Amino acid sequence: MWYLQYPLEDGDDHVTVATTRPETMLGDTAVAINPNDPRAESLRGRYVTLPIVGRRIPIVEDEYVVMPGTEGDAKAEFATGFLKVTPAHDPNDWDIGQRHDLEAINIMAPDGSISDRHGWDDVSDDAKPFVGLSREDARAAIVAWFTKSGLLENIRDYSHSVGHSYRSHVPIEPYLSDQWYVRVTDDRLRGEALRSMASEQHDGEMPARLDGSNSNGDSTLHFSPPRYARTFQQWHENLRDWCISRQLWWGHRIPVWSLTCPIEGDLPDEPLSVPPDGCGLPMCGIDDDTMCTRISVDRGEDVVRIMVCIAGGHGDVEERLVEAGFQQDPDVLDTWFSSALWPMSTMGWPNPSAFPDTEGLLDAFNPTDVLCTAREIITLWVSRMVMFNRYFMDGQMPFRDVYIHPMVQDGHGQKMSKSLGNGVDPRDIIHSHGTDALRLVMAQIATATQDVRLPVDLVDPHSGETFSPEFITTTAGHRVSAPVQQSPSKAGGEMVTVYGLLAGEEPSDERPLAKNTSSRFDVGRNFATKTWNAARFALGRVECPEPVADVTALSVTDRWMLSRVATAAAGLEEAIGQYRFNAAAELIYDIVWRDFCDWYLEAIKPTVGDDPKQQRVLLSVLDALLRMLHPICPFVTEAIWPHVQSLGERGMPGLSLPSADMIAVAAWPKHDASLLDQDAEQKTARLQSLVTEIRRARSDNDVPNKAGITLLAPPSLHGLASQEAEVLSGLCRVAEVKPMPAARPAGTLAFAMDGEEVLLDLAGAIDPVVERARLEAKAGTLEGTIKGMNGRLSNASYVQKAPAHLVEETRTQLQQAEADLAATRAAIEALA
């Protein structure tokens, strides 16, 4: 921070301004002071002489100026109370200049060097040596000049942030220039955008259309998750006019041609619809009714600048303009301007006859159903597409739903970016894990709230081995993988990373580029393999399926599986309808792996070979699951599909599964509520907990896998257990189911289930120490549960205020827990 003295025009005194960019003083056109500053009164109406330049500049009063010593303002500590005002080179100074009608003097060229050719015309002899210097050299020279002249009062260290170009990384220099703007604050743009919002997502009153009408696109735009509607609304409510011109090499060129020519005579006040006489322009023949031209005239003192905007498809007019000396504007449109036209311009608009391939597309796909994008795009693209589409398409929306997906970050929580090389090429994941695995896991991690961290590993091109790379920290503080990595297994083997490519490393045969991978996708790969194997197994078991006429006559296990399929299908429909893709992925994962593979396939192994109806159920369930899975795992399901088709008809009452050549075009399974089977679900839940208990008993007591055991079931369980004896045999090697005898036989193991004691004859394999410990632990847990429930039930407020069914449920659970505890204690005693 440099403190520069500016002498007052009259008298010997001076004011001191503080600045971090001394070189901009050449363009100062005022010094500002806060009107509340006690010094303001005596300085009112006075002028200073700008050093070097000799320009006479006023002292103006503006509340923007920070007064020295202001509490709680870090800037105040460095402030002198006087602010040099450089409207052409600082946005805040520009605003001050507007308020006080100050001149804006541009003292720089577009390359940032000091220049007298871009608006600076009072260059003094003292100032001439500075012209042509770079801004950095000029800063040093200005400071030297002030030092030599005794006008440099002080230098202090001051830390502040300066905007840098994301591309060239140099500090950005505010600079006065002519740009094109779109007046998006117009009600036909901003107002239409706000009115497009679904009313339940719009906060407060929507702006009414000026003519009081409604339009076909009103209140149709819906965001998922809904909180992003706020982003959209707030952006439009605080919208400023949009600068659409860019000084880049590529993009859509701005379709404006201009010519400056001398005026002959006075110009009329009204806007010109044709070129003024005297310019000699070949403008006739342009049909103003087609709105293909707009002519604007900029009046100077003795010249006029004519700008003509030409619609597309009028190359002949453009040629004639150029012949007449017109030049096309050198700027291109902001990329988001071009993108805003995407829903229309990709489908032939505005001139479909020029693009026969696009015939019918606009009607078919505009509006479309859903736009899927990331949050920062809401303002950049979503907003502009809505405004443009409504403006040009008679109020019509480009789409109805906007789904905002989470962002994938790298393993260090950094946004993936091209310049950091920390992104993952999906093809690398396809290479290491497969397309379906990539897709399933992407769906799984697409949650509504969190961004997702994806720790990235490398695949060693020398050995194919996966390993964690070494990381380095860039000067900007980012964690990136080191440009060159050592092979974990091949001595001396090296490889280049994606970041290495950016850092200038050249891959070679000896030192190849390493592919990325991530263990996050293992679950997807495993799932695809599991699905493939399960389908292979199931198909092999279907030999002679018979139609099922009566679903209620099927086995408990079959009815349960069909009930699960119907439940899962309904759940999937809901989840996908709400754009909750992670919920959909979890649902399909669980029904395929947990219900179908772990339980159903295992449970039917003993019976399916001899049961043609069960084969029909198995085939139908497989078919339905593949259809449900297909959106998330398209390839593995398509590969299995022909084999399912070849086994004949599927489906049964309540489950419709029409044939199709490809699963991609197969109908979603049509299921009805008749498949939902509470009885089968309850019975299976009981069997499942029985199986779990038996498996644990076997595991705890080291019963060999092949050894069959005998289940001694209490009356309430015996019917189900003996009916499902084959299921129990297949799942936990129960060789025999017997009723519970009156007296407990010696050497049996007991556990409590649903308030009753169940016995297992493990053929003497009981380990009493292990068994006692397990039972004691179980009793402890039960005691805790009982204590908690007793506490709840003895709380009068709970009994009175909680819903009756919950209180009832607590009572039932308490009874059962007490019965379980009694049974467990009995088992402990029997062990002794």
Residue 92 in the binding site for RNA (CB under 7 A): no
**Residues facing 685 on adjacent strands:** none
Residue among 288 and 808 whose Cβ is closer to RNA: 808
The helix or strand, by DSSP H or E, that contains position 421, with its residue range, turns out to be none
- Interface pick for RNA out of 597, 676, 793, 819 (rule CB under 7 A): 597
734 in helix, strand or coil?
strand
- Interface pick for RNA out of 463, 473, 533, 682 (rule CB under 7 A): 533
- Interface pick for RNA out of 209, 415, 718, 772 (rule CB under 7 A): 415
Order of all β-strands in the sheet with 748-753? 734-739, 709-713, 756-761, 748-753
CB 57 within 8 Å of CB 29:
yes
- Interface pick for RNA out of 45, 330, 413, 764 (rule CB under 7 A): 413
- Interface pick for RNA out of 449, 475, 646, 678 (rule CB under 7 A): 449
Whole-angstrom Cα distance, residue 370 to residue 399? Answer: 6
- Interface pick for RNA out of 234, 473, 552, 682 (rule CB under 7 A): 234
Residue 793 in the binding site for RNA (CB under 7 A): no
Residue among 137 and 522 whose Cβ is closer to RNA: 522
In order, the DSSP letters of 277-327 are: TTS----TT--GGGT-EEEEEEE-SSEEEEEEEE-TT-HHHHHHHHHTT-E
- Interface pick for RNA out of 379, 466, 645, 790 (rule CB under 7 A): 379
- Interface pick for RNA out of 522, 573, 638, 736 (rule CB under 7 A): 522
Write out the two tokens for 236: 């439009």
Which residues have CB under 8 Å from 9's CB, separation 6+? 46, 47, 48, 49, 56
- Interface pick for RNA out of 725, 802, 819, 830 (rule CB under 7 A): 802
Residue 580 in the binding site for RNA (CB under 7 A): yes
Residue 700 in the binding site for RNA (CB under 7 A): yes
Residue 789 in the binding site for RNA (CB under 7 A): yes
Whole-angstrom Cα distance, residue 106 to residue 119? Answer: 5
Write out the two tokens for 288: 């103003």
What value, to the nearest 5°, has the Cα angle with vertex 438 and ends 434 and 444? 145
Per-residue CA distances from 64 to 37, 74, 75 (Å)? 12, 15, 12
Whole-angstrom Cα distance, residue 775 to residue 831? Answer: 10
Residue 593 in the binding site for RNA (CB under 7 A): yes
Name the minimum Å distance from CB 383 to RNA.
11
Residue 705 in the binding site for RNA (CB under 7 A): yes
Residue 373 in the binding site for RNA (CB under 7 A): no
Q: Judge residue 437's burial from the number of C-beta atoms within 10 Å of its C-beta, 0-12 exposed, 13-18 middle, 19 or more buried.
A: buried
CB 398 within 8 Å of CB 369:
no
Residue 797 in the binding site for RNA (CB under 7 A): yes
Residue 447 in the binding site for RNA (CB under 7 A): yes
Residue among 602 and 736 whose Cβ is closer to RNA: 602
Residue 795 in the binding site for RNA (CB under 7 A): yes
Whole-angstrom Cα distance, residue 584 to residue 567? Answer: 12
Q: Which amino acid is at 448?
A: A
Stretch that binds RNA, among 48-56, 97-105, 196-204, 522-530 (CB under 7 A): 522-530
Stretch that binds RNA, among 116-124, 212-220, 529-537, 764-772 (CB under 7 A): 529-537
- Positions 662 through 691 that interact with RNA (CB under 7 A): none
The helix or strand, by DSSP H or E, that contains position 413, with its residue range, turns out to be none
Q: What are the percentages of helix, strand and coil residues in the chain, rounded to 5?
A: 40, 15, 40
Stretch that binds RNA, among 49-57, 343-351, 382-390, 408-416 (CB under 7 A): 408-416
Residue 414 in the binding site for RNA (CB under 7 A): yes
> Using CB under 7 A as the criterion, which residues of the chain lie in contact with RNA when the complex forms?
227, 230-231, 234-235, 375-376, 379-380, 407, 409, 413-415, 445, 447-453, 455, 519-520, 522-523, 525-526, 528-530, 533-534, 536-537, 540, 578, 580, 582-583, 586, 593, 597-598, 601-602, 605, 692, 695-696, 699-700, 705-706, 781, 785, 788-789, 792, 795, 797-798, 801-803, 806, 813
